[in-house]
Structures are given as structure tokens and as C-alpha cells.
Structure 1
Amino acid sequence: MEKTPPPAPDDGAAGGGARRFWSARRISAGLLALLLLVVAVAFLYDIAAVRADRPAMSWRRELTDQLARRPLEDIWVLLGAAVATALGLWLLLLALTPGLRSLLPMRRTHPDVRAGLDRDAAAMVLRDRAMEVAGVRSVRVRVTRRRADVRAVSHFRELDEVRADLGAVLDDTIGRMGLARPPVPAVRVRRPGRKG
């Protein structure tokens, strides 16, 4: 019985085709839905009360009186418009951006499977591998979507040798992570007690 080879990696996903993960944003959507529900219920209750020959609620009478009396260039009208505009832009930004910035998309080896690696986990793997390099005393690693900033302290060996070994180890480790857009390592090595 002949085995079928696994599907080849998707070349489009390895480059610009790999998209970031979208956040569900359940909390912000739930809060907005709750706020809209409260406002809608208040207005519907007041409209039903007016239709039943009862007086309108005082807050709605006050609001309509204020809106009728104040000119458009009034500071409170402008402030309310600015707050509403900022809130609307914030909601549009939430709707149009993926979110989940902490997940790095991985190469897709199968079209139905998507995987991601947390940036903190990637930083931990790089730190552990960097600590295996001879001469490295301590390492701090910060991984972004495009870069892996590695700051190492070396207590023996030449700094250029440590930097070269670190670069080779990090390149190998980043290549083995299987990320769709591998971060570029930026390595800085210094002696203990020196800043930089």
C-alpha cells in the first residue's frame, strides 16, 4: 500500500497571503448591544406613554428643549458631536481591524487548518535557545510581528563571536517555528554592567 505524501505548503500563505487572526470582541460587542438596548427600551417606553395620553418623561422633554434652544456652535453641542464621532470611529476601527495582535500566523500546510503561535511563547523559545549559546549569561527577547529583539549579556568570549553564534541559533530556531512571516532577529550583545 502506497502512502500519499502530505500536501505541500501553501506558497500564498507563506508570504503575503497569511492573514492575521480576527478577534471575536465579545465584550465590546456585548456592552454596545446592552447600551443600545437600554436606550431603545427607554425611548420606546416614553413613546408608548405619550401615545397613551401620559406626559413625556422629564429627561426627554429637557433634551428636546435643550436641542431646540442651543445653536449648533454651542460648546456642549460641539462636545457631544465630538464624543459621538470619536465613539463611532472607535467602533469602526474595532470592526475593520483583526485584533489578536499577540498571535503570529503559521504557515498553512493544509488548506483547512490554521495555526498561530503566541508572541510570548515565541519569545520564550528564542530565549531558551539563546541561553544555550556559550558565553551568554542572560537574555531578554521581545517578539513583534516583524522583529525579534534579542538583548544578551555575555560574561566571557568575544562579543562578535557570541553575536555570530546567537544569530545562527536564532535564524535556525525562527526557521523551525513555521511562521508565515518570520520575524527578523535584531541581536545586541553587551558585557555585564554596561548599558546599550
Structure 2
Amino acid sequence: MPKLWNETIEEHRRAVRDAVLETTAALVSEHGVRAVTMSQIAEGSGIGRATLYKYFPDIESIMMAWHERQIASHLDQLAELRDRSGTPGERLEAVLETYAFIQQQRHGHGGELSALLHRGGHVAHAEQHLRHFIRGLLAEAVQAGEVRDDVAPDELTGYCLHALAGAGGLSSKAAVRRLVAVTLSGLRSAR
């Protein structure tokens, strides 16, 4: 097949897949994961059920694909903040604040949905990736004298991630920002 034809087919498949993921996420958010059917997803996506089954065997696999895409998007967003210009401390603050807001949004997943989404290996891989790059940013901030040097960056990474997981229970942006400020104050040198 010519290259243009292949690109057109891939674009179409990607568009169908994206429509299925978005439709499913919206339906699950509105009705709950157990109340959604493959027929509703197909109809909402503008495709037939047979076509839907060519892409995904069941709702669980659709939700897992949606979650993988969400995680990848969050990691890309955090990496972009980490890689921008500024001091290591400024970049660390931007990454930690954004991570805290992601945690706050994630709290909207119901217990059943959260259990479904977080049992895949993709979550553990993403957490490892996140730990690695926050640790690297903390190490840079230690070298620049912006973060305490009496605690190893690995330990500080755990501190940050665990502290900011608390943002999941916060209802306002102001509360999330206060949590980030408290977390950052714990990173500063005691000298």
C-alpha cells in the first residue's frame, strides 16, 4: 500500500479509538462502570458494535486503554514542566504542584473504578518513572543548594509523593496549594 494510504488508515483507526475512549470515559463517569454497555459505547462513538469489538473485547479493556492514555498525558505534562527553564527549585515546585492537582482530580474515580484502573502493570511502571524523574529533579535542587542535603533524594522523593497524595482528599485549589507549600517547606534546609 502507498504510504499516504497507510497514514490515512492509521489516522482513522486512531480517531475511532480516541472516540471510543472518550465516549466510554464519559458514560462511566455519568452512569458507573457496571451500568455501561458495549452497545451504548458503540452508539455514542458513532460506530457499530462489530467495529467496536474489533478494537476492544470489553469495557474493562477500554477503560484500561483510557487510563494508560491519561497516565501518559500526565507524565508528559510533568516532564514538560521539569524540562523548562528556571532554577531546579522553581521547576520542582511546578512539578509538585501539578502532581498535587492531578492527585486531586484522580480522587473523582469511584472505589470500583479506581480498583479496576489501578490493577494493571502500567500504573507501577508509571510510578517508577515518576519517582525516577522527581528524584533527579530533587538531586539537581540539592546540588543548587535549594533543597536540604541531609536527606537522600530517594527519601525526599518518597516524602513528596506520599505527602502530595493527600491532595486527593482536598476540595479546593487553595487547599492543594497550601499542601504543596507545606511539602516544599519540608524540603528546605534546616540551617
Normalization by structure 1: what TM-score? 0.24
Greater C-alpha Rg: 1
| Bigger strand share | 1
Normalization by structure 2: what TM-score? 0.24
| Bigger helix share | 2
